């Protein structure tokens, strides 16, 4: 089984993420928490980035209130947070959180596509709260359905600005599992 460090490091460099994908500042120097989001298709990582919380807030601030409200309502209604948090606390190693979808509980081995998301504090320590978590492709697609076309366009532009050619419509949602 992969360790948490292995899950969260950059597949491209083999090292922990060092810079925010959006503002390009060094994560350990900015005194802000940051997220690592990765999306996998089976064993292959198809998208990965770290984003500082101010940039994440800037990005989600450009999504419509209706879209954000709809996604948050979905996450509130579909995730049994009380049970999930209890499960999380029982785990000997937080990496076990990546073994199944936080929403539908599907095991990772059964997921064609899945995303993982983790929050680090400003010093680089992993924060254990609702994150880290894993969401399967099917559930990411359900979240995407709740975004307005304008909000999807905000997301697509973010991908176009920062990644070369990942705007693959066949990858559901692509990489925003931890943005809400």
Candidate residues 8, 20, 27, 143; the one interacting with Zn ion per rule CB under 5 A: 20
User: Which region, judged by CB under 5 A, interacts with Zn ion, from 10-18, 22-30, 82-90, 122-130?
Assistant: 22-30
The answer to whether 154 touches 63, Cβ cutoff 8 Å, is yes
We find the least distance from the C-beta atom of residue 59 to Zn ion, in angstroms, to be: 10
| 54, 46 Cβ separation under 8 angstroms | no
Q: What is the dihedral of CA 54, 133, 111, 73, to 10 degrees?
A: -70
**Of residues 103, 133, 171, 179, which one binds Zn ion by CB under 5 A?**
103
- Of the two residues 52 and 159, which places its CB atom closer to Zn ion in the complex? 52
Examine residue 143 and tell whether it contacts Zn ion (CB under 5 A): no
Site string for Zn ion, 55-84 (x = CB under 5 A): x-----------------------------
With beta carbons less than 8 A apart as the criterion, state whether 108 and 98 touch: yes
Give me the least distance between CB of 24 and Zn ion, in Å please: 7
Query: What is the Cα 87 distance to its own chain's centre?
Result: 20
- Non-local (6+) Cβ contacts of 160 within 8 A are 167
Let me know: does 161 contact 23? Beta carbons within 8 Å.
Answer: no
Please pick, from the candidates 35, 36, 47, 52, the single residue that binds Zn ion as defined by CB under 5 A: 52
Of 9 and 22, the one with the shorter C-beta distance to Zn ion is 22
CA–CA separation, 1 vs 151, rounded Å? 36
Applying CB under 5 A, what is the total number of residues that bind Zn ion? 10
Residue 41 CA to its chain's centroid (Å): 14
Among 4, 53, 85, 104, binds Zn ion (CB under 5 A): 104
Contacting range for Zn ion; rule: CB under 5 A; set: 42-50, 78-86, 98-106, 164-172:
98-106
SS percent in the chain: helix, strand, coil, step 5: 40, 20, 40
Which residues in this chain contact Zn ion in the complex, by CB under 5 A? 20, 22-23, 52, 55, 101, 103-104, 136, 139
């Amino acid at each position: 089984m992969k360790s948490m460090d292995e899950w969260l490091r950059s597949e491209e460099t083999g090292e922990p993420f060092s810079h925010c994908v959006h503002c390009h500042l060094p994560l350990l120097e900015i005194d802000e928490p940051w997220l690592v989001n990765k999306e996998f298709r089976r064993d292959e990582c198809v998208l990965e980035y770290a984003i500082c919380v101010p940039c994440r807030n800037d990005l989600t601030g450009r999504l419509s209130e209706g879209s954000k409200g709809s996604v948050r309502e979905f996450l509130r209604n579909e995730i049994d947070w009380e049970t999930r948090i209890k499960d999380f606390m029982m785990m000997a190693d937080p990496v076990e959180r990546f073994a199944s979808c936080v929403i539908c509980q599907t095991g990772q081995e059964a997921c064609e596509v899945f995303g993982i998301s983790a929050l680090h504090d400003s010093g680089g320590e992993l924060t254990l709260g609702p994150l880290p978590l894993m969401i399967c492709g099917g559930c990411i697609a359900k979240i995407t359905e709740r975004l307005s076309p304008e909000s999807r366009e905000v997301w697509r532009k973010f991908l176009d600005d920062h990644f070369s050619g990942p705007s693959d419509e066949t990858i559901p949602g692509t990489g925003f599992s931890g943005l809400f």
